[in-house]
Structure 1
Amino acid sequence: MSEPRSLAVRVLAAVLLILMLGAVMVTSATWWNGSRAARQSYDRILLGAATDIAESIRLRNGAPFVDLPVSAFQLLAQAPDDRVYYVVRDSRGRTVTGLTDSAEVTAPRTQSVGPVYWDGALNGEAARFIRVSRLFAERDFSGSVEVIVGQTRRARVAMTRQLMGDALWPMALAGLLLIAMSWLVVRSALHPLEALIQDLARRDPRDLTPMEADRLPRELQLMLGAMNRFMGRIDAQVEAMRNLISDTAHQLRTPVAAIRVQAETARDAATPQARDRAVDRLLTRTRSLGALLDQLLSRAMVIHRTDSAPRVSVDLREVALDIIESRDHDLLAPGAEVRLQIGDRPVMVRADAFSLGEAARNLLANALKHGRPPVSIGASHEAGMAVLWVRDSGAGPDETIGQRLGDRFNRSTGTREEGTGLGLSIVASVARAFGGRVAMDREADGFRTALVLPGDPTPSDEDSAP
């Protein structure tokens, strides 16, 4: 596989292509202008020679007579390498004088009274001809006398080449100078990029801090800004993995030690009653460990998806309905009354449906564990925002819980043993990821925790608005 070309070579190749196209266009224009100038110059010579011959025609004894002027041949001598042809014919087409040893040249038929030019051949060589007519109206002779003068095109071609050479040599030198200047400009323009590459190569693989872009060109600032944002996302992912590993190692140590102690206690119990109590405690610890693992994985998945999953339009009513239909609350709080409160108007947001579902489950689980039934879950529009909320009939947690909202393992003093303190942390992470917040309010009929997100004004939402 061939090595890819550098950016400098690609830019220089594009510049060379542009210069080549320009050279072709300039060469074509120069050739056209040069050939036109040569044609006009030598056509004037032909016209002058033919006019001089026509003006030298006289009538003698009722017939045209020509005393060939020297000036006509002096004009034609401006092109010494060209062959010359001339002939004078009367009104009946008879030759008055001319080069009879040359091939006969036939003028085109036209009604024009002025000079007529045409291209033809003179003894097999490309030539240019002119016809000039002089009209006589006298007693002895009445009619027109036709003068045809021709000349090969060698001088015209030579003149065209000379004009092209005189015009193209300076342009060729200017093109070479432009190529050299283009190379210097390209190298100078790419110097900041090379410095950026060297800076990246010297960086520690674990260094994901943003790179300085103040002194760079605007295009590189845009690229570096995108790179810094990308490194920021990677840094957030790495930090999330570090937190997950640290939290898992820290939080699993106590439950595993407690399970080991309870298992040893059950093994060494002296009576069946003591063994049963130890087994019950062991089962409680196992359930708490399972809940902790579930929420650790749920939090890691939410953090990953909020950064990588595409945003789509999601109806918060469907999120609440899915939570009720899944019946997960029956496992958390068997027999607890859970109500669904949604309206007819869509509550649309732009987010990740999985992350919203995890947040809703943790809101409901938090209310079932720490609140009082009945518990309600619903979605609504409030002050231009889309709200997914859970309300229980209790008084709510201490104010310190709300102040530390979003911290991992945030437990109140009344939290039961199986609580992990990760539920509201997951909800807060989802809220931050989608530009929202978590609201906790004490109401007349209980305590409400809500996920407040910016609404998505989809066509269906607007059409359903009253």
Structure 2
Amino acid sequence: MISVRRPQSLVSRVLGLVLLILVLGGVLVAGSTWFNGRQAARQAYDRILIGAAIDIAESIRVQDGAPIVDLPVSAFQLLAQAPDDRIYYAVAGPDGQLITGVDLENPIAPPVRGGVRVQFFDDTLDGDPARFVRLTRLFVERNFSGPVDVVVGQTTQARATMTRDLVLDALLPMALAGLALIALSFVVIRSALSPLEALVDDLTARDPYDLTPMPTDRVPQELQVMLGAMNRFMQRLDGQVHAMRNLISDTAHQLRTPVAAIRVHTETAMAEPDAQGRSRALDRLLNRTRSLGTLLDQLLSRALVIHRTDSTPRTPVDLREIALEIAEQDDLATLMPGAELRLDIPEDPVTVLADAFSLREAGRNLLNNALAHGQQPVVVGASVEDQHAVLWVRDAGPGPAEAVIGKLGDRFNRDANSGEHSTGIGLSIVGSVAAAFGGRVDMSKGDNGFRAALILPQAEDVE
């Protein structure tokens, strides 16, 4: 059985990072506190050692040509401030002969450093670590001359205890403060992430078909960026869902009548006993079949255009090339062998930022509409008008009535003169392409005939 690892929450991630920072900081502070505490303990007890050594050195006097020592009580009172530590003292003459002190099997041998009167060093005392100080006092008298060394030592147990106490006294408040900071961080993080929880609740409670924008006025600035991107995505998704619903609805609505007509014509042809009547029924069946094929082509074209205009990146397209391609389309001679078609394009490029496939579909529908309902000759052209790029088709006819022009571009808009071969989808495809690329569709009558034009921003004008 494969175990699925639960994703780590954002709160635990942030708290983990905060805890890691506190631990690293605590380690650094603990190391610094231990070093400083060790130095403070060393300095404190070194002062005790040097004080005891000075007291012993001041008690040395020369009698009958030999140094003697009257050990002062004050020296041992100083060393008694560390009652758990063992002490060592020794006074030696110029020849290294022990005058007084602790006689060990392995006497303490201070390192030799010429000219140094006070010297601290570390060694062991009966196997335990200890700290020592050597103080040299020079005598220049008539019957005695030379240095007398005083060595005082003490084990380091009191130093270690003092260091530990200093570290604990410094770290315990810091540990309590760290715990308080973690608790405060948890509260702050939960408060900062509460807008995310509100967004999750909002999305969870939404209807699956509710793609309206989410409010962004009461969320932090960082979340506004995310919500803005999410709302734009939801808007695009809503457009795709709306287009899909329209396509399904239009397909179901428009296919019902042609399919029923084809069935009726087929039944009539099969039941017709007369050959001439059967031929007429088959002709009607053929016309209905062609009309159904045109309808399916238009529906597919419209679905492709809607999909590509939302998902395909914009690239520079020269409308002169689009006009040339639709004027030279291969199926034109087959569908309308006697069509009189002309091309009118300028020498300079007419460039837009769009999708070439969508523009070709829009241009083909403009041309097919002019060939089906206009008068020849038909002219296909591209031009620049008022700083806009225009792809247009003009026929020599007067065009439809003004009331009809106002409805052109609506889906399945047909009048009594359209005929059964018209689907009413062609100009709606042109309108969808124009809206997708920030343009518009223009229908106008002139002295040269009726013109249908797709007007788009020029490439240099598109931000």
Q: Give the length in aligned residue pairs.
A: 454
Q: Indicate the residue corresponding to 2:82 in structure 1.
A: 79
Determine which of 196, 205, 208 is the counterpart of 1:205: 208
Describe the superposition over 1:203-255 as per-residue Cα deviations: whole angstroms up to 9, x where unpaired.
33333333444434444444444444333333322221221122112222333
Give the alignment partner of residue 45 of structure 2, picking from 37, 42, 64. 42
Structure 1 residue 343 displacement after superposition: 4.9
Deviates more, 1:419-428 or 1:139-148: 139-148
Aligned to 2:459: 455
Question: Secondary structure of 1:133's partner?
Answer: strand
The partner residue of 1:148 within 148, 151, 164 is: 151
Query: Is 2:391 the partner of 1:389?
Result: yes
Equivalence for 2:234: 231
Find out whether 1:70 has 2:80 as its counterpart: no
Instruction: Please report how far the alpha carbon of residue 291 of structure 1 lies from its aligned counterpart in structure 2 after TM superposition.
Output: 1.3
CA separation in 1, counterparts of 2:162 and 2:228?
A: 60
1:280 aligned partner = 283
Name the amino acid aligned to 1:67: D
| Pairing of 1:382-461 with structure 2 (within 5 A) | 387=389, 389-394=391-396, 398-400=401-403, 403-404=406-407, 406-411=409-414, 415-440=418-443, 447=451, 449-453=453-457, 455=459
Deviation at 1:121, TM superposition (A): 2.4
Change (3 A) 1:128 1:374: same
Counterparts of 1:15-30 in structure 2, within 5 Å, are 15-30=18-33
Structure-2 change in CA distance of 1:296 and 1:84 (3 Å): same
The residue aligned with 1:339 is: 343
Say whether the 8 Å CA contact 1:85–1:102 is kept in structure 2: no
Change (3 A) 1:34 1:354: farther
Range moving further from structure 2, 26-35 or 103-112: 103-112
Determine the C-alpha separation between the residues in 2 that align with 1:383 and 1:139.
Answer: 123
Q: Could you tell me which residue of structure 2 aligns to residue 121 of structure 1?
A: 124
1:311: Cα distance to partner? Answer: 1.3
1:270 to partner: Cα distance: 7.1
Contact 2:324–2:343, Cα closer than 8 Å, also in 1: no
Task: Tell me how far apart the structure 1 counterparts of residues 226 and 141 of structure 2 sit (CA, whole Å).
Answer: 92
2-side partners of 1:226 and 1:456: how far apart?
Answer: 26
Which residue number in structure 1 is paired with residue 256 of structure 2?
253
Q: 1:436 to 1:151 in 2, by over 3 A?
A: farther
Q: Measured at CA, do residues 83 and 301 of structure 1 come closer, stay the same or move farther in structure 2, by a change above 3 Å?
A: same
Query: SS at the partner of 2:151?
Result: strand
Provide structure 2 residue ranges, at least 5 long, that are not aligned to the other structure.
none
Kept in 2, the 8 Å contact 1:347–1:381? The answer is: no
Task: Report the more deviating stretch, 242-251 or 411-420.
Answer: 411-420
Give the aligned partner of residue 299 of structure 2: 296
Name the counterpart of 2:365.
362
Deviation string for 1:305-362 (max 9, x for gaps)? 333x24153433565565466534334433543537365758352x444434433433
The SS at the match of 1:97 is strand
Gap runs ≥5 in structure 1: 459-466
Confirm whether residue 105 of structure 1 aligns to residue 108 of structure 2: yes
Partner of 2:377: 373
Normalised TM-score (structure 1): 0.82
1:143-167 alpha-carbon deviations (Å, 9 max, x no partner): 5443333222111110111112222
When residues 417 and 84 of structure 1 are mapped into structure 2, their CA distance, relative to the original with a 3 A threshold, is: same
Find the residue that maps to 2:21 and give its secondary structure: helix
> What secondary structure is seen at the aligned counterpart in 2 of 1:209?
coil
C-alpha distance in 1, partners of 2:154/2:404? 108
- 1:397 CA drift (Å): 5.2
SS in 2 for 1:134: strand
Distance 1:175 1:369, change over 3 A: same
Identity %: 58
Which residue type is aligned with residue 434 of structure 1? F
Distance 2:441 2:65 in 1: 122
Matched, 1:33 2:36: yes
Q: How does 1:307-326 map to 2 (within 5 A)?
A: 307=310, 309-316=311-318, 319=322, 323=326
**Cα distance in structure 2, aligned partners of 1:157 and 1:313:** 77
Q: Output the amino acid matched with 1:449.
A: A
Would you say the 8 A contact 1:398–1:412 is kept in 2? no
Q: Say which is worse superposed, 249-258 or 194-203, in terms of deviation.
A: 194-203
> Please, which moves more after superposition, 445-454 or 318-327?
318-327
Q: Which residue of 2 aligns with 1:461?
A: none
The residue number in structure 2 matching 1:185 is 188
> 2:429 and 2:119 mapped to 1: Cα distance?
95
Q: Which moved more, 1:338-347 or 1:188-197?
A: 338-347
Which letter does structure 1 place at the counterpart of 2:204? A
